[in-house]
């Protein structure tokens, strides 16, 4: 009876997330509270909250959001964008390729949601001055952000969840998923140029025609820029050596955030708007939902079902990658990974499955999440910003028609990569 109730709440929550107009954070958080009030968690108390909610993930997100907020206020991202635009010398196809590459790289070092927020106005500006629709540019940018974000621990929320659950660090992700992510980023840029933007040749512009695009005016505060960049670099180094240092990534990120605020003289209220509270509440709700599935035994049932395939490890890795990809496309990458984590913990403990299992999940979630509007937060944020800019809506099918082929191609190459990695 209890299992049926939990599964019903879970399914209802995700149907609402996909099809309703309510904020996904409110839906997930409310569903988690419903399960708490239904006493699914025995002896639910604030002392037990740490067992149900992964505060390492929450802390990492908050810390990075604050650091990025300070970087943004210094004008760094505007400066970088202006430099990319000027470097293209008015060649629109080269400019789009450079923007996509920059978005992918920034997504790996920041996170893909923040990167899309930062670069969306640049894409819209380019579309306006070249009299092109921003739809294809935005769609391509979203896919590049998801692929680039797969490269590191902090680049995409599913990786943050995986890192916290598995103990894998920044360098682990960079070495294991980084190569295929960067290769696929380059592939996507070339694919988009040849298939989508090849006709963007009749309109171009010269940077000298745009007086507002002056790099010297982009930096709003040199002091903030120097301080925030230094803190950001130190935090990345801390992520790389967190295992040696003995500190969780969340503590390093929060310490960096505190240092950035202190050294720039900013208060939390100055940067609070840069913290994505909806995302944080969404994660809290997801943790409660996935914990409930584990508590009532759903995770054990699914683990038993998958254990029959787990004996054939190469086949299992490929199957898991595609299961993760398909689920990520329909219910979202973060919910999919949140549900899979307790299942994988059970399987790795009982079947001795190697650490590569997490890379299959990471690639499946990050790449597969590109397929639909609801596949990742970056997708929803990017399309939401574009719809606001255009004043019209984009349909689910319109995005799927654009994204399906490139998503399938990168998933196929990700499958080959995982197969070869396991074989070697």
Q: What is the pLDDT of residues 201-234, one digit of tens each?
A: 655 555 455 545 667 777 788 888 889 889 988 9
Distance CA 207, CA 271 (A): 32
Q: Tabulate helix, strand, coil % of the chain (nearest 5).
A: 80, 0, 20
> With contact defined as beta carbons under 8 Å apart, do 396 and 356 qualify?
no
For the ranges 167-171, 291-295, 300-304, the lowest mean pLDDT is seen at: 300-304
Distance CA 207, CA 214 (A): 9
Better-scored residue on pLDDT, 398 or 294: 398
Better-scored residue on pLDDT, 411 or 88: 411
Residue 237 domain-assigned (yes or no):
no
C-alpha neighbours within 13 Å on the C-beta side of residue 375: 33
> With contact defined as beta carbons under 8 Å apart, do 80 and 34 qualify?
no
pLDDT above 70 (res 123):
yes
CA 340 to chain CA centroid, nearest Å: 17
Domain with 30, as residue range(s), is: 2-52+76-218+276-423
Residue 311 domain-assigned (yes or no):
yes
What is the arithmetic mean of pLDDT over 25-53? 74
DSSP 185-253: HHHHHHHHHHHTSTTTTS----GGG-TT--HHHH-S-HHHHHHHHHHHHHHHHHHHTHHHHT--HHHHH
74 band by pLDDT with thresholds 50, 70 and 90: confident
What is the arithmetic mean of pLDDT over 407-415? 97
pLDDT above 80 (res 353):
no
Q: What is the pLDDT of residues 51-71, one digit of tens each?
A: 677 777 788 788 888 888 888
User: Residue 342: exposed, middle, or buried by beta-carbon count in 10 A (0-12, 13-18, 19+)?
Assistant: buried
Distance CA 206, CA 320 (A): 48
44 band by pLDDT with thresholds 50, 70 and 90: low
- Average pLDDT over the chain, rounded to whole? 83
Residue 344 domain-assigned (yes or no):
yes
Split into its structural domains, the chain has a count of 1
Residue 46: what pLDDT?
57
Q: Residue 74 corresponds to which tokens in the numbers above?
A: 């210094």
403 band by pLDDT with thresholds 50, 70 and 90: very high
Q: Determine what percent of the chain is predicted with pLDDT higher than 70.
A: 90
DSSP 317-350: HHHHHHHHHHHHHHH-HHHHHHHHHHHHHHHHHH
Residue 224 domain-assigned (yes or no):
no
Q: CA separation (Å) from 107 to 2, 92, 143, 315, 361?
A: 41, 22, 11, 31, 19
Residue 363 domain-assigned (yes or no):
yes
Q: Specify the DSSP class assigned to residue 207.
A: G
Residue 223 domain-assigned (yes or no):
no
Residue 326 domain-assigned (yes or no):
yes
Q: CA separation (Å) from 168 to 121, 175, 224, 338?
A: 35, 11, 32, 16
Residue 227 domain-assigned (yes or no):
no
> With contact defined as beta carbons under 8 Å apart, do 263 and 227 qualify?
yes
390 band by pLDDT with thresholds 50, 70 and 90: confident
What is the arithmetic mean of pLDDT over 76-105? 82
């Amino acid at each position: 009876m209890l299992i049926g109730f939990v599964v019903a709440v879970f399914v209802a929550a995700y149907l609402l997330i996909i099809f309703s107009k309510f904020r996904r954070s409110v839906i997930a958080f409310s569903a988690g509270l419903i399960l708490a009030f239904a006493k699914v968690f025995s002896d639910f108390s604030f002392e037990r909250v740490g067992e149900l909610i992964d505060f390492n993930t929450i802390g990492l997100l908050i810390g990075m959001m604050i650091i990025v907020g300070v970087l943004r206020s210094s004008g760094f991202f505007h400066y970088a964008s202006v430099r990319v635009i000027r470097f293209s010398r008015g060649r629109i196809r080269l400019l789009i390729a450079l923007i996509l590459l920059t978005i992918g790289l920034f997504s790996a070092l920041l996170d893909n949601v923040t990167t899309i927020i930062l670069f969306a106005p640049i894409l819209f500006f380019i579309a306006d001055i070249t009299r092109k629709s921003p739809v294809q540019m935005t769609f391509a940018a979203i896919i590049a952000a998801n692929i680039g974000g797969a490269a590191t621990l902090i680049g995409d929320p599913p990786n943050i969840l995986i890192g916290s659950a598995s103990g894998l660090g920044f360098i682990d992700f960079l070495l294991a998923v980084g190569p295929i992510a960067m290769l696929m980023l380059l592939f996507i840029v070339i694919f988009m140029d040849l298939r989508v933007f090849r006709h963007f040749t009749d309109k171009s512009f010269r940077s000298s025609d745009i007086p507002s695009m002056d790099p010297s005016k982009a930096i709003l505060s040199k002091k903030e820029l120097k301080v925030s960049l230094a803190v950001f670099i130190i935090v990345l180094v801390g992520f790389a050596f967190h295992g040696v240092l003995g500190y969780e990534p969340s503590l390093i990120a929060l310490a960096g955030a505190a240092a950035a605020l202190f050294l720039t003289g900013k208060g939390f209220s100055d940067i609070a708007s840069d913290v994505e509270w909806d995302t944080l509440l969404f994660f809290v709700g997801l943790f409660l939902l996935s914990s409930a599935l584990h508590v009532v035994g759903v995770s054990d049932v699914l683990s038993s079902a998958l254990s029959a395939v787990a004996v054939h490890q190469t086949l299992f890795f490929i199957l898991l990658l595609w299961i993760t990809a398909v689920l990520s496309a329909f219910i979202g990458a973060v919910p999919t990974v949140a549900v899979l984590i307790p299942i994988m913990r059970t399987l790795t403990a009982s079947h001795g499955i190697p650490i590569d299992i997490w890379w299959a999940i990471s690639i499946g979630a990050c790449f597969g999440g590109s397929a639909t509007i609801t596949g990742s937060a970056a997708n929803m944020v990017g399309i939401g910003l574009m719809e606001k800019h255009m004043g019209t809506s984009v349909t689910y099918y319109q995005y799927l028609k654009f994204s399906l082929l490139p998503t399938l191609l990168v998933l196929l190459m990700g499958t080959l990569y995982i197969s070869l990695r396991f074989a070697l």
